[in-house]
Structure 1
Amino acid sequence: MAKLIPKSPRFVPRPRFGSRRNKRIGSRKTGLRIRKIVIHVQASFNNTIVTVTDIRGRVISCSSAGTCGFKGPRKGTPFAAQTAAINAIRTVANPNMQQAEVLIKGPGPGRDAALRAICQSGILLSFIRDVTPMPHNGCRPPKRRRV
């Protein structure tokens, strides 16, 4: 015959408040009603990264030439930058969209192509700003090369 073990108070399962299981599980990105977005375009010579955020800086969607399937030197092309911009904007383009700000950083060839793709998407642009960091007589150059 099985022995009955009395339950002690410390082994009683307690409801777990504040755990991850009690929260609503689902996609946060489905119910977004954002009226103003900021589109960050980072164009280097090897890749172009497009990030869409709200005005507080929280990332809504992002894409790059590498995630769009381009490999090697083709990541730095203007067509790859255009594809990355279209993929990043596709998730947030909705009729409630009022305006967007575009911040472009870097010297790469994908700058203009990404901006052209953003303009063709139908989003109203409030301003376009170049935020490429420029050194104000910054670091000391390396010493002269002796051959």
Structure 2
Amino acid sequence: MSEEEKKDKPVETVDDAVKTDQVKKVDEPKAEKSPEVSTSDNPEKAEKTEKKEETAADLLGANIEQVKIRKAKGSKNITSGICYVVATFNNTKVSFTDMKGNVISWSSSGKCNFRGSRKSTAYAAQVVTQDAGKVAMSHGMKEVLVKVKGPGMGRDSAIRALQSLGFSVSSILDVTPVPHNGCRAPKRRRV
């Protein structure tokens, strides 16, 4: 068969079409001359371009990993403060303040993407404390007085997370409100 007969014959598969040149080829972009190709002419330039590509990739990775920490215009480094841990049956909230009570950072289980029954777990309390603690450390906080409120499961794990972050815990206070026969308590569960 001659080439003209092959072109006139109907094509059954894509491979046959490519072999008979019946498929229109897409123009490939012309490769620009890069310094890497001409390594024999100038090897120093080739090394520099390779380094630039690596650093750009490194910078992109670094931007993803960094957490934005916002400081107020008149903020100063705060070395000591108070950490409030509110551990209820349904949630755990942590906030760091200076000694006057101005909030520096805060976090909660919902903010850390825990939903439903996972919000009240001890692990959620640990993650919440680390989240708020990192921001407080970036403001220069090193020593904390811990005030714990509520009967939740996150009480102890929040304090352990503070110590693992490197905070020096000066004292731990339990400030859970105790009623002197105030409001009627919720009905008992029958399980």
Shift in Å, 1:138: 2.2
- Matched ranges for 1:103-114 at <5 A: 103-114=147-158
Match of 1:46 among 85, 90, 100: 90
Q: Which has the larger radius of gyration?
A: 2
Q: Runs ≥4 in structure 1, deviation > 2 angstroms?
A: 29-32, 94-98, 137-142
The CA RMSD measured in Å over matched residues stands at: 2.3
Q: Distance in 2 between matches of 1:34 and 1:138?
A: 39
Greater RCO, CA 8 A, separation 6+:
1
Q: Distance in 1 between matches of 2:185 and 2:132?
A: 38
Q: Which amino acid aligns with 1:85?
A: T
Which has a greater percent of strand?
1
Deviation by residue 1:119-146 (Cα, 9 ceiling, x = unmatched): 111111110000000012223679xxxx
Q: Distance in 2 between matches of 1:39 and 1:116?
A: 13
State the secondary structure of the residue aligned to 2:136. Answer: coil
Shift in Å, 1:95: 9.3
- Contact 1:52–1:62 (CA<8 Å) still a contact in 2? yes
Other-structure match for 1:61: 105
Q: Which amino acid aligns with 1:67?
A: K
State the secondary structure of the residue aligned to 2:137. Answer: coil
Which has a greater percent of helix?
2
Shift in Å, 1:69: 0.4
TM-score normalised over the length of structure 1: 0.72
Q: Distance in 2 between matches of 1:64 and 1:108?
A: 13
Unpaired runs of at least 5, structure 2: 1-69, 187-191
TM-score normalised over the length of structure 2: 0.56
| Count of residue pairs brought into register by the alignment | 117
Other-structure match for 1:99: 143
Q: Distance in 2 between matches of 1:47 and 1:140?
A: 22
- Matched ranges for 1:3-82 at <5 A: 27-28=71-72, 31-82=75-126
Other-structure match for 1:135: 179
Q: Which amino acid aligns with 2:84?
A: H
